[in-house]
């Protein structure tokens, strides 16, 4: 199967879905599912959260041209922001012939924190926890035999001393391999279960027992070479490199740079029913791990005017548990991605983040983002100004010719047609 479908963006939603499904040999039901006919119902919603009265549909677009670790993949992205899916697809196209994205994964270890207070001798408590390591790990693993049977479970622990305002606190980190789950439930259950034992061992009082979203033992690195993106324009290449330099030096720029990365990452995280807030918190905390908030990507010059990018990001995503299975459209997304493991999903997501970052900086370093962005946004404005769906393309064409994407101008065009 190939993720390259030239002219994909020009097709209707129906034709696009046909192309994707034909490439993946999926069923007719897979088609109706994502289009809402057999998809998410009010009963599904009512099972997921409290006080349900309805739900918010978000568009899902498919990013094409992605090759990750030698395998082509269609990437479902759920986002309300125009340009994101197009930008990811365009960036991926520029890496396709240089091999696409190559990734590595540190494994699926999550940290569960247990905060111990009221300690008379905190260093002694710290030492005692290490002495009881095997017993603590065993008690953790008794909580989740299924995870253990898949090779996961608590593997190790790590104890830190934190100076509070009026006492030293000991914080035990349980290091738990959550395999194909995001892991919050498994980690929190274990952290709560071992707390009485920790109080007995240390003589202290446990307060917090919760996973850390700074998933620094669940890191994906992805790299890609973008082939001659500026057609040899050396000034544009230099601008690109200058823009990336600023993201490493200035937190104001780094925040926006990383937001662009998260445009891609969060869209796939959401499409697969994973926890966008967990991934975002982890990414931003990791970006500040050196003590200063920095870029999650690095960029270097390659041969023949190519640009090489690398992203390093924690990705706590799963394929089992939570909305990943409870939400029929999230399940559909994992089918389209053809992912069998959370690891493969994380590798794809990091690649999308890198592509998104490349596309953002490429636009900023050349014509700026507003032209492309406003052209897409003009479609929304035309609809808001009362255009029928059959008129929208014509209105955008006229607005482009006039060189204006202001709402009052678009409204005038709509009125002139009606
Ligand atoms: C907009 O959603 C994202 C960008 O601002 C990212 C960036 O500045 O790199 C274009």
- CATH number of residue 255's parent domain: 3.90.770.10
Residue 373 is a catalytic residue: yes
In the reported structure, the alpha carbon of residue 345 is separated from the centroid of ligand 1 by a whole-number distance in angstroms of: 24
- The answer to whether residue 205 is catalytic is no
* 65 belongs to a structural domain: yes
Residue 89: what pLDDT?
A: 98
Give the pLDDT of residue 268.
98
pLDDT at 122: 98
Residue 3 in domain: no
In this predicted structure, which of 23-32, 62-71, 255-264 has the lowest mean pLDDT?
23-32
pLDDT at residue number 377? 81
Indicate the residue among 157, 188, 211 that finishes a domain.
211
Give the Cα separation of 409 and 404 in Å (integer): 7
Which among 30, 177, 275, 343 is annotated as catalytic?
A: 275
Ligand 1 atom closest to Cα of residue 81: 2
Q: How far is the C-alpha of 100 from the C-alpha of 24, rounded, in Å?
A: 20
**Does residue 51 belong to any structural domain of this protein?**
yes
245 and 308 assigned to the same domain: yes
Active site residue 81: yes
DSSP code, position 101: B
Query: 359 and 238 share a domain?
Result: yes
- Given pLDDT bands bounded at 50, 70 and 90, which one contains residue 39? confident
Going by pLDDT thresholds of 50, 70 and 90, the confidence category of residue 372 is confident
Confidence label for 369 from pLDDT (cuts 50, 70 and 90)? confident
Percentage of the chain lying above the pLDDT 90 cut:
83
Atom of ligand 1 nearest to the CA of 257: 9
Catalytic residue among 44, 69, 71, 81: 81
Sign (positive/negative) of CA torsion 188, 189, 190, 193? Answer: positive
Whether residues 101 and 115 share a domain: the answer is: no
Tens-digit pLDDT profile for residues 285-307: 999 999 999 999 999 999 999 99
Active-site pick, 31, 133, 373, 394: 373
Do residue 357 and residue 381 come from a single domain? no
Give the start-end residues of each E strand in 40-188. 60-68, 71-78, 102-105, 109-117, 153-163, 168-177
Tokens of 407: 């709402």
Which CATH number fits the domain that encloses residue 162? 3.30.70.420
| Residue 361 in contact with ligand 1 by CB distance below 6 A | yes
Query: Does residue 397 share a domain with residue 249?
Result: no
Give 65's contacts (C-beta < 8 A, 6+ positions apart).
Answer: 3, 4, 89, 90, 92, 93, 96
Active site residue 257: no
DSSP state letters, 167-201? SEEEEEEEEEE-TTB--HHHHHHHHHHHHHHHHHH
Mean pLDDT of the 206-222 span? 98
Ligand 1 centroid distance, CA of 124 (Å): 49
My answer on whether 135 and 91 are in the same domain is no
The arithmetic mean of pLDDT across residues 17-33, rounded, is 86
Confidence (pLDDT) at 136: 98
What pLDDT, on a 0 to 100 scale, did the predictor assign at position 233? 94
Please report whether residue 2 resides in a domain.
Answer: no
Regarding the beta carbon of 418 and ligand 1, being less than 6 Å apart is answered no
Ligand 1 pocket check for 360: Cβ under 6 Å: yes
Give the Å distances, CA to CA, from 372 to 75, 169, 281, 297, 377: 21, 52, 29, 24, 9
Burial of 48 (0-12, 13-18, 19+ CB in 10 A): middle
Tokens of 360: 């953002």
- pLDDT exceeding 70 applies to what percent of the chain? 100
Average pLDDT over residues 151-179: 98
> How would residue 380 be classed by pLDDT, with cut points 50, 70 and 90?
confident
For ligand 1, whether the C-beta of 31 sits within 6 Å is no
pLDDT digits (tens, 9 = 90+) for 226-254: 999 999 999 999 999 999 999 999 999 99
Residue 370: the pLDDT is: 75
Q: How many domains does the chain have?
A: 3
Same domain, 230 and 99: yes
Of the three residues 179, 211, 243, the one that is the final residue of a domain is 211
The reply to whether ligand 1 has any atom less than 6 angstroms from the CB of 369 is yes
Least confident of 27-41, 94-108, 182-196, 262-276: 27-41
Nearest CA to ligand 1 atom 9: 257
Q: What is the mean pLDDT of the chain?
A: 95
Check whether residue 280 and residue 358 sit in a common domain.
Answer: yes
Locus of tokens 């740079």: 257
Whole-angstrom CA distances from 332 to 59, 94, 366, 405 are 14, 28, 37, 36
pLDDT for res 306: 97
The reply to whether 188 and 238 lie within a common domain is: no
Atom index in ligand 1 nearest the CA of residue 357 equals 9
Domain that includes residue 135, residue range: 109-211
Q: What is the pTM of this model?
A: 0.92
Per residue in 340-354, pLDDT (tens digit) is 999 999 999 999 999
How many helices (H) and strands (E) the chain has is answered by 17, 10
Q: With a 6 A CB cut-off, is 364 part of the ligand 1 pocket?
A: yes
């Amino acid at each position: 199967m190939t993720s390259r479908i030239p002219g994909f963006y020009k097709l209707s939603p129906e034709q696009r879905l046909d192309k994707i499904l034909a490439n993946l040999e999926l069923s007719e039901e897979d088609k109706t599912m994502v289009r809402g006919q057999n998809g998410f119902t009010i009963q599904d919603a009512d099972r997921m959260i409290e006080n349900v009265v309805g739900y918010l549909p978000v568009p899902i677009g498919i990013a094409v041209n992605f090759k990750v670790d030698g395998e082509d993949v269609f990437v479902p992205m759920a986002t309300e922001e125009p340009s994101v899916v197009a930008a990811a697809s365009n960036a991926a196209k520029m890496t396709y012939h240089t091999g696409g994205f190559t990734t590595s994964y540190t494994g699926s270890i999550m940290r569960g924190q247990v905060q111990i207070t009221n300690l008379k001798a905190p260093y002694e408590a710290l030492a005692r926890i290490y002495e009881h390591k095997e017993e603590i790990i065993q008690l953790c693993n008794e909580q989740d035999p299924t995870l253990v049977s898949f090779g996961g479970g608590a593997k190790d622990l790590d104890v830190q001393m934190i100076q509070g305002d009026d006492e030293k606190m000991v914080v035990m980190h349980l290091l738990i391999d959550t395999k194909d789950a995001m892991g919050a439930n498994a980690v929190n259950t274990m952290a709560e279960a071992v707390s009485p034992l920790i109080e007995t061992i240390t003589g202290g009082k446990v307060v917090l027992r919760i996973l850390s979203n700074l998933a620094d033992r669940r890191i994906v690195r992805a790299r890609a070479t973008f082939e001659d993106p500026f057609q040899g324009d050396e000034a544009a290449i230099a601008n690109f490199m200058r823009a990336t330099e600023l993201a490493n030096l200035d937190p104001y720029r780094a925040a926006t740079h990383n937001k662009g990365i998260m445009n891609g990452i969060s869209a796939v995280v959401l499409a697969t029913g994973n926890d966008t807030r967990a991934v975002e918190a982890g990414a931003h905390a990791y970006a500040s791990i050196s003590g200063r908030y920095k870029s999650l990507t690095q960029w270097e010059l390659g041969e023949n005017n190519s640009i090489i990018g690398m992203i390093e990001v924690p990705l706590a995503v799963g394929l089992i548990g939570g909305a990943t299975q409870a939400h029929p459209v999230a399940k559909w997304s994992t089918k389209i991605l053809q992912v069998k493991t959370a690891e493969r999903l994380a590798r794809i997501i990091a690649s999308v983040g890198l592509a998104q970052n490349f596309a953002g900086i490429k636009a900023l370093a050349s014509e700026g983002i507003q032209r492309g962005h406003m052209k897409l946004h003009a479609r929304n404005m035309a609809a808001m100004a009362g255009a029928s769906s059959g008129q929208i393309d014509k209105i955008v064409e006229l607005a482009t010719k006039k060189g204006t994407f202001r709402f009052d101008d678009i409204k005038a065009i709509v009125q002139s047609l009606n």
